[in-house]
Structure 1
């Protein structure tokens, strides 16, 4: 069986846990060598060992100096990027009236600034016909109580893609947004705090809002990322692919 990413060089930011880790594993299983980034060295080292055909680079994507160092490592090691999955990001919940400058700065630095400057730093290394995938969210196109700052940051991601495809028409680079719905990741369950019962309560509540009646698994998002990364999606450009069990479609 032909592997869909054979001999490709892929980068997964925020690849040490959750959707990023599942995607890095899937990319490697499909034949790619994967560069994984993360902010925490112990988790990053564990992810590299789990993925196998991977290189870990400790990076905070909101810091331009870290991104420049990442691209230098990739250039010296492999010389190119065929697939760039810009997945690093995050956020937390505060309702209008309680939003702080610190929350705004952290969320937009991680999700918007980090995405913009990751892509910009990678541009010289992206091959003709490369696939760039940005992690969006159903939150970017629907309402959620106390989640407006995160939602706005993900709406910005969608806007980036619509514009960037017009900036690279001469290079054949494809940009797409992959927007998961509620997915069973450490980041999601962590919104409920450390109590296991509260975490399960959050998952149950979210499942009740999804037409398929359950939350997603990271591996399901990863398989969609492989599609967007591969030649199977050769004419898919500027799109937003929802992998949400129908959550944002009703």
Structure 2
């Protein structure tokens, strides 16, 4: 299916690794121009070279100036912005036991740049009748325990999806969110390795996923993102989509109960 994304300029935060890298690859394969914004410029440049098109902007996204500069550099190089994929973030484990300043720092890492980049890109998005796609997390729905900052940030992202979809509808800007559940990204893999029995944890996690008892791939998330970015989803806005094998909304006991 041709998604009609050829030459669309798409900013992808954290687009060098994990789900972000999947998005970069899928958008490039669809003929779009991915602009990776984040803290891994060398990895990003290698990925862009493999993809054959795109651009990399090194940026510390907790900085307002860096966010502003990233938008300005994109506009200077390409003359337009057709969409933003807000993917950057980290489950940093800031719990109720930690200090309020730690909580605020977690919000700064995980939700500040979502607002700030969109703020500075707004005129360009209005001009292009562009799109905004947020990459949230199951944690916003299910909780996790001991990660108040991340949960609050992803909950805020879901809320902003509905707020911005309503606010920007008059400009024909569509805003949607994709919610990953269990995806084996490099960050997830590194965290799993800290557990006493990583394989047992993975096996138990997969057993709770109703569809095929496996984790979602980064490219499956990216394909959902690309579809929402395309004009094949031209009348879809304010939606929160769960390409998660049924993890969040189907009975997680499914995998342990024999069905007749």
**CA drift at 1:54:** 1.0
1:99 aligns with 2:98: yes
Name the Cα RMSD after superposition. 1.9
1:115 aligns with 2:135: no
- CA distance in 2 between counterparts of 1:208 and 1:99 reads 32
**CA drift at 1:103:** 4.0
Q: Which residue of 2 aligns with 1:80?
A: 80
Q: Which residue of 2 aligns with 1:244?
A: 244
- CA distance in 1 between counterparts of 2:144 and 2:3 reads 39
State the aligned residue count.
248
Q: TM-score, normalised by structure 1?
A: 0.92
1:169 aligned counterpart, secondary structure: helix
Greater Rg, structure 1 or structure 2? 2
Q: Which residue of 2 aligns with 1:138?
A: 138
1:146 aligned counterpart, secondary structure: coil
**CA drift at 1:102:** 5.4
2:238 aligned counterpart, secondary structure: coil
Give yes or no for contact 2:138–2:179 (8 Å, CA) kept in 1.
yes
Give yes or no for contact 2:15–2:87 (8 Å, CA) kept in 1.
yes
Of 129-138 and 45-54, deviating more is 45-54
**CA drift at 1:3:** 5.0
CA offsets 1:115-150 (integer angstroms, 9 cap, x no match)? 111111111211343111011111111122323331
Go from structure 1 to structure 2 and tell me whether the alpha carbon gap of 1:190 and 1:101 turns closer, same or farther (over 3 Å shift): farther
Structure 2 runs not aligned, ≥5 long: 251-260
Q: Which residue of 1 aligns with 2:210?
A: 211
**CA drift at 1:40:** 2.5
**CA drift at 1:235:** 0.7
**CA drift at 1:205:** 2.8
Of 185-194 and 216-225, deviating more is 185-194
**CA drift at 1:95:** 4.8
Give yes or no for contact 2:23–2:219 (8 Å, CA) kept in 1.
yes
Give yes or no for contact 1:61–1:114 (8 Å, CA) kept in 2.
yes
1:84 aligned counterpart, secondary structure: strand
- CA distance in 1 between counterparts of 2:225 and 2:210 reads 22
Give yes or no for contact 1:189–1:199 (8 Å, CA) kept in 2.
no
2:133 aligned counterpart, secondary structure: strand
Go from structure 1 to structure 2 and tell me whether the alpha carbon gap of 1:199 and 1:105 turns closer, same or farther (over 3 Å shift): farther
Give yes or no for contact 1:128–1:171 (8 Å, CA) kept in 2.
no
